[in-house]
Amino acid sequence: MWNNNPLKILIIQDCIDSINSLRQTLKADQFRVLSCNGDHGFILSIKEEPDVILLDTCLNNRKGFEILQNLKNHWRTKHIPIIIATKINTQQYWDEAYRLGALGYMIIGKHNHYLPGKISKLITCPKAIAS
């Protein structure tokens, strides 16, 4: 927990199964979890100013990398740490995510158990997460 308040996590994801998988991983006592699809992700990020964003790279109507770039270029959201949470595991996607400013990359389902620790580490030491 950060300042005795649960961290606010925004999941930007179009797949309900992936949202549910991530929600189950993030315990309610540590995290306050919000979720939305790609169309609403950028606007909700500005409105809610979450502590961390979990962003998928493959969204139905908008590309995750486009949203990542928009978030990192906007003055209200550029400081928010973003972890790519996706089912795609290619070096090209990893490289692009980090190039655009993501501070972490995880494969949904395969790496979920690492997520609470990554988020806590990201909040306390942002440079240590880049792996």
Report the pLDDT value the prediction gives residue 54, as an integer from 0 to 100.
96
Residue 130 has pLDDT above 50, yes or no: no
Q: How far apart, in whole angstroms, are the C-alpha atoms of residue 124 and residue 37?
A: 28
Write out the DSSP string of 43-75.
HHHHHH--SEEEE-SB-SSSBHHHHHHHHHHST
10-44 tens-digit pLDDT: 999 988 999 999 998 997 668 999 999 888 999 99
* Percentage of residues in the chain having pLDDT higher than 70: 89
- 58 part of a folded domain: yes
- 118 part of a folded domain: yes
CATH number for position 107: 3.40.50.2300
- 75 part of a folded domain: yes
Query: Is residue 4 very low, low, confident or very high in pLDDT (cuts 50, 70, 90)?
Result: low
- 63 part of a folded domain: yes
104-115 tens-digit pLDDT: 999 998 888 889
